[in-house]
Amino acid sequence: MAYTLDLTKQNINRILIIKWSALGDIAIASALFEDIYRAFPDASIDLNTLPVWAHLFKHDPRFNHIIDIDVRKKGEKFKAMRQWLKQIRQNRYDLVVDLQSNDRSRMFLTLLGLGRGRIRYRIGNNQQFPYNIRPPEKIRNTFKRCQSALKAGGINIHTSRPVIHYSEENKNNTDSISTEFQLEHKKYAVFFPGSQAEGYLKRWGAKNYADLAQMLLAQGVDKTLLIGASDELEECGEIARLGNNTDKGEHIINLCGKTKILDIVPLCKHARYIVANDTGTARIAAATTTPLLMIFGPTNPDRDTPGGENVAAIQAPYEQLSCIKCFRKTCGHHSCMKILTPDLVLKKLLKIPRKFVKL
């Protein structure tokens, strides 16, 4: 039976937060981490995530311990499940907040309840068993649904944008980049123009990004940084080639493959603008107050745009393209991105409120 309860008035000493993937979802969920941390300042809070993301929270003061069991490893899922159940039982949590809330996490918590490891208070972001504290209504947006679940547990909601803690090493890395390329605060932009290779339909296109970088020069943006990973090397290289092959000089700086994920936060913190495709790294960048515009093609901005008044999304209107938000992996025309010209993107970018940015 589900109920609403003010957990902050209960004897909550140990808390487990479950959030396994993906990068963008974890970044958005970090706002929820912050509200849980504020609600229980004296509790010991552990985060259960996948090994690939554990390094993101190595220096995070909100967590006492990171549990990074690979519950999805092929061929070892049953072994990982037994390891997970054993460790969670041993830790004797008073509250679990399952922000993953998929079939696997629900099964794990159900199995946990069969023995002595059952956790008394179980918050989930859907209305299914085994959660006894859940959203009172159905909400499509995952982040808002999670917020509703926390509210049902008496946890006040204060945080809308991601909260990502980075290390001194990340700061030093970005300081070195700033020095090397002579970056001035609020006079450079950051682009995230790629995506995973299989999600290429999310890409706005190298020519569009190169043209936008040219247009930003007239807005007082002297340089544009390109950030990406191995899947995006070719795309970033093409943008730099197209954008720098003009009389404007070398104003596009290709940093693809040269930064760490958490370098993104201090690097974007002092940028003038951020423009990105629908990528996980864009949601890391949303931890800053810099104006951020996300370009959406086949995916859904209503569901996947991070919070914060400095964050906006642009997508072709349904009236122009009825197949918008198709979520397809292949397409013969890619009209959703062709409709969004650099002029339209620039106009949208310039309308984003900048009152949160210290110039």
Query: Are 125 and 101 within 8 A, CB to CB?
Result: yes
Q: What is the pLDDT of residue 355?
A: 57
Instruction: Kindly state the tokens that stand for 218.
Output: 């007239």
CA distance 351 to 353: 6
Query: Are 224 and 213 within 8 A, CB to CB?
Result: yes
| In the predicted structure, residue 356 carries a pLDDT above the cut 70 | no
- DSSP lists the bridge partners of residue 311 as 292
Are 21 and 119 part of one and the same domain? yes
Nearest to 251 by CA among 183, 186, 192: 183
Domain coverage including residue 346: 168-350
Prior bond of 130 cis (ω within 30°): yes
CA distance 312 to 325: 17
Q: Which of 152, 184, 218 is the last residue of a domain?
A: 152
Q: Which of 152, 178, 209 is the last residue of a domain?
A: 152
Q: What is the pLDDT of residue 127?
A: 87
Residue 246 pLDDT level (bands cut at 50, 70, 90): confident
User: Angle formed by the axes of helices 206-217 and 342-350, to 10°?
Assistant: 50
Mean pLDDT across the chain:
94
Instruction: Kindly state the tokens that stand for 228.
Output: 């990406």
Segment 188-197, tens digit of pLDDT: 999 999 998 8
Residue 354 pLDDT level (bands cut at 50, 70, 90): confident
Are 108 and 49 part of one and the same domain? yes
Q: Is residue 297 part of a domain?
A: yes
Q: Is residue 161 part of a domain?
A: no
Are 327 and 215 part of one and the same domain? yes
| In the predicted structure, residue 273 carries a pLDDT above the cut 90 | yes
Nearest to 242 by CA among 342, 334, 349: 342
Are 285 and 328 part of one and the same domain? yes
Are 42 and 140 part of one and the same domain? yes
Q: What total number of domains does the chain contain?
A: 2
Q: What is the pLDDT of residue 357?
A: 46
Q: Is residue 23 part of a domain?
A: yes
Residue 2 pLDDT level (bands cut at 50, 70, 90): low
Instruction: Kindly state the tokens that stand for 250.
Output: 């070398």
CA distance 192 to 167: 22
Which CATH number fits the domain that encloses residue 14?
Answer: 3.40.50.2000
Query: Are 274 and 190 within 8 A, CB to CB?
Result: yes
Q: Is residue 162 part of a domain?
A: no
Residue 359 pLDDT level (bands cut at 50, 70, 90): very low
Q: Which of 152, 182, 202 is the last residue of a domain?
A: 152
Are 177 and 115 part of one and the same domain? no
| 187 burial via Cβ count (<10 Å: 0-12, 13-18, 19+) | middle
Q: Say whether 293 sits in a helix, a strand or coil.
A: strand
Are 337 and 287 part of one and the same domain? yes
